[in-house]
Amino acid sequence: MDLKGFDRPYEAAAEGALPAGTRSVKVMIAGGFGTGKTTMVRSVSDIRPLTTEETLTQASAGVDHLIGVADKQETTVSLDFGRIGLNDRLVLYLFGTPGQERFWFLWNGLFKGALGAVVLVDTRRLASSFRAIEEMERQHVPFVIALNVFPDSTEHPVEEVREALDIPPHTPVITCDARDRASSRDVLIALIRHLKERSAAAVEPR
């Protein structure tokens, strides 16, 4: 993968964390409550991920919206963190956002310095990811949409979902299985390609 054209590369070598010449990029994994953000970070991370999941209790029943995710046992209360090297020159630092409305105040800090984002969508509950999409647009963070396929999901054409979410044509919409490392990695590669295309388009003479 050609890495030329990134507009905001992070030179991790200066920090001594990675070999000289390696670029590190901060990427957000966002989405609604129960869309698979923690699962994706866990499945794809090269290191043991840091998670801040707490057990859901009866006390949160009136606060967290469990419709469609009644079997969910835990919830992220701060962030998830992982790291993956896509090749010997590019490392992604992954920051998973909390999905519940009561933790949205944390998003502003988490998005600082992010080059791009993956918005995970559960097609059984499209409305659960509206807020995440709106936040990407508000903070001008480039993103791709990843349709996380759950066992009981109904298959919908990608363009039908794009229209339902009101996603512009230039934003990639792809399907994935957040439990599968290869599938999650493909989503991240799609994001990096999207960022590279945006960067190249920005420097083209008009």
Give first-to-last CA distance, the chain, whole Å: 26
* In 15-142, beta strands by DSSP E: 23-31, 53-55, 74-76, 80-87, 90-96, 116-122
pLDDT at position 106 = 67
pLDDT at position 149 = 93
Distance CA 25, CA 70 (A): 35
φ/ψ of 169, rounded to 5, equals -60, -30
**What tokens does 179 get?**
């439990």
pLDDT at position 140 = 92
Averaged confidence pLDDT in the chain: 81
Rg of the chain over Cα atoms, rounded to whole angstroms, equals 17
Q: Would you call 182 helix, strand, or coil by DSSP?
A: helix
Distance CA 159, CA 165 (A): 10
pLDDT digits (tens), the chain, 206 positions: 444 444 344 444 344 456 667 899 999 999 988 899 999 999 999 999 887 654 544 444 444 454 444 454 554 445 889 999 998 899 999 999 885 665 555 666 778 899 999 999 999 999 999 999 998 998 899 999 999 999 998 889 999 999 999 999 999 999 999 999 999 999 999 999 999 999 888 776 66
Identify the CA nearest to 168 among candidates 145, 140, 138.
145
pLDDT at position 162 = 96
**What tokens does 135 get?**
């936040």
Helix H or strand E encompassing 187: helix 181-203
Are the CB atoms for 203 and 5 separated by under 8 Å?
yes
Identify the CA nearest to 9 among candidates 93, 119, 80, 82.
93
Distance CA 108, CA 112 (A): 7
pLDDT at position 3 = 45
The pTM for the full model equals: 0.79
